[in-house]
Amino acid sequence: MDTVEIFDTTLRDGEQSPGFSMNVEEKRRLARQLEELGVDVLEAGFPIASPGDLEAVRAVARTVRHCRVAALARAKQVDVDAALRALESAAHPRLHVFLATSDLHLHYKLRMSRDEALDAIVGMVSYGRERCPEVEFSAEDASRTDVDFLCAVMAAAAEAGATILNIPDTTGYSIPEEYGQLFHRVRQRLGRAEGITLSAHCHNDLGLAVANSLAAVRAGARQVECTINGIGERAGNASLEEIVVALAVRQASFNAHTNICLEKIYPTSRLLSAITGVSVPPNKAVVGANAFAHEAGIHQDGIIKNPLTYEIIAPEAVGVPARRLVLGKHSGRNALRLRLKELGYEVSDDELAECYQQVMALADQTKEITDRSLLATVHKVKRRRGAAAVVAEDAPACT
């Protein structure tokens, strides 16, 4: 079984998006957690972007000891020098050089010809490789780059010393079959180049970042770049937790695994939310508040009898403290009985029927029944029934 390495870019591509900026201390805290999570590579920032970013990469490089620390640089010497300075004290440094290769970017953004781009890539990859033990090259906007040119760029970058070749879907434009095909084409062009890892890096503009990343894995990618909670430019990057859990749940289908410690996924997601103050949408896969919540009566009944009926992942496997059976207007009696039991109340069938009736009436008016209103209901029912029983005993026998 192959290992798919996880390249976490929460601190770089993720942090680049509005509302997610972090200071040096926050980056260090998250970096420690990401190392515990088991990421293979941690991209700490883009040192040329600002002195603060350089300082943050430096701090992360000093903090993290086991996984590789990557720093991003355009194919420019000033960028590469800044990245190398930031990585000086890293135990396992990785220089990440990138340059856009699509005609659109070359013409409008960089005002460069293809030949000039090729020269810059070869020049900076070899310059970096002379100064850093590991160099990754990314062809920005690869999915909209002429395929023959992309193949030529990748072959040249490999020749110049890059051992990780990243094929980003920078604008989230690709679709799974097409993105996978790109990996086949590049691999074909590289031939049996030993020691070269192809990497996927997907954005979520069409909501396909995870699907595209998995298609790349199927097509031979052995590194996937992603972020916690899927944060990142515009609609975000591919979500780490979704990719990792998909590879774990469907391991037989992919014949690949990751080094991620699954139980650390939820605490890591929570830490990122706590640091940035940005919460995760409730319906977010794996880490959303509803990812392990069940409200419909039929589902609740199934879950009570056997969780496998409606859950393909056990919540505790990804570090979620417990599944939630949410009491609302779609809930059933079994879930109500269970919740009352968890709250310390055994109820008879008649009491349950009465509680259920009252809870449903309440559910029509509110979105979710809280434990507080549940307790008020069961107290009321027990009190009324208890009183009724006393009255019944005292009452003269009917004739």
Smallest distance, ligand KIV to C-beta of residue 48, A: 12
- 160: closest CA among 201, 120, 216? 120
Per CB under 6 A, the segment of 50-58, 103-111, 165-173, 357-365 that binds ligand KIV is: 165-173
Q: Which does 98 bind (CB under 5 to 8 A by kind): Zn ion, ligand KIV, none?
A: ligand KIV
Among 68, 144, 201, 294, binds ligand KIV (CB under 6 A): 201
Contact 183/220 with Cβ under 8 angstroms?
yes
Smallest distance, ligand KIV to C-beta of residue 311, A: 33
Does residue 163 sit in helix, strand or coil?
Answer: coil
| Site mask for ligand KIV (CB under 6 A), range 349-388, x = bound | ----------------------------------------
- 243: closest CA among 164, 318, 320? 318
- Restricting to residues 170-199, name those near ligand KIV by CB under 6 A: 170
Give residue for tokens 């990812």: 291
Smallest distance, ligand KIV to C-beta of residue 368, A: 39
Q: Which residues contact 3 (CB under 8 A, 6 or more apart)?
A: 222, 256, 257, 258, 259
User: What span, in angstroms and rounded, lies between the C-alpha atoms of 142 and 252?
Assistant: 30
Smallest distance, Zn ion to C-beta of residue 237, A: 6
Judged by beta carbon, residue 19 or residue 344, the one nearer Zn ion is 19
DSSP state of 227: B
Judged by beta carbon, residue 14 or residue 328, the one nearer ligand KIV is 14
Looking at residue 175, its amino acid is I
- Restricting to residues 4-23, name those near ligand KIV by CB under 6 A: 13
Phi, psi of 226, rounded to the nearest 5 degrees: -160, 175
Q: Which residues of this protein are in contact with Zn ion, per CB under 5 A?
A: 13
Contact 100/140 with Cβ under 8 angstroms?
yes
Bridge partners, residue 168, by sequence: 201
Judged by beta carbon, residue 216 or residue 327, the one nearer ligand KIV is 216
Per CB under 6 A, the segment of 145-153, 157-165, 166-174, 253-261 that binds ligand KIV is: 166-174
Judged by beta carbon, residue 138 or residue 213, the one nearer ligand KIV is 138
Contact 74/95 with Cβ under 8 angstroms?
no
168 sits near ligand KIV (criterion: CB under 6 A): yes
Judged by beta carbon, residue 13 or residue 295, the one nearer Zn ion is 13
Q: What is the per-residue DSSP string for 201-218? A: EEB-TTS-HHHHHHHHHH
Q: Which does 140 bind (CB under 5 to 8 A by kind): Zn ion, ligand KIV, none?
A: ligand KIV
Smallest distance, ligand KIV to C-beta of residue 363, A: 45
- Restricting to residues 132-151, name those near ligand KIV by CB under 6 A: 138, 140
Contact 221/1 with Cβ under 8 angstroms?
no
User: What span, in angstroms and rounded, lies between the C-alpha atoms of 371 and 288?
Assistant: 21
Q: Kindly list the residues in this chain that would bind ligand KIV in the complex (CB under 6 A).
A: 13, 98, 138, 140, 166, 168, 170, 201, 203
